[in-house]
Amino acid sequence: MSWLILVVAGLLEVVWAVGLKYTHGFTRLVPSVITATAMIVSVAMLSWAMKTLPVGTAYAIWTGIGAVGAAVTGILLLGESASAARIFSLVLIVCGIIGLKLSAH
């Protein structure tokens, strides 16, 4: 169950990371509320997952999901670069996430 909570927390990190772009410095109400809510729930779920998962593993996976998700969202929805080097770097992060999951006790 902790792993599922951690993945959802990571996905919510994507929501708030991308949401920051739409808040315009927290001057727009609806995007700001969505972003702040996603931040709070994401960190709360990370904390919950850390009750049973190692801190280093949980935090690295949480940030990895957030980083890859935000980058992929930027590519697919915001027209950001999809260069081979960028895609390769994202694949390396995913490999690291998988490696951390497989090596967790």
Position 23 scores a pLDDT of 97
DSSP category for residue 98: H
Position 104 scores a pLDDT of 77
Residues in the chain, pLDDT under 70: 105
Residue with tokens 């700001």: 32
**Burial track 39-63 (b if 16+ CB lie within 10 A, e otherwise):** bebbeebbebbbeebeeebbbbbbe
Structure tokens at 76: 């697919």
Q: What is the pTM of this model?
A: 0.88
**pLDDT per position as a tens digit, 61-79:** 999 999 999 999 999 999 9
Position 105 scores a pLDDT of 67
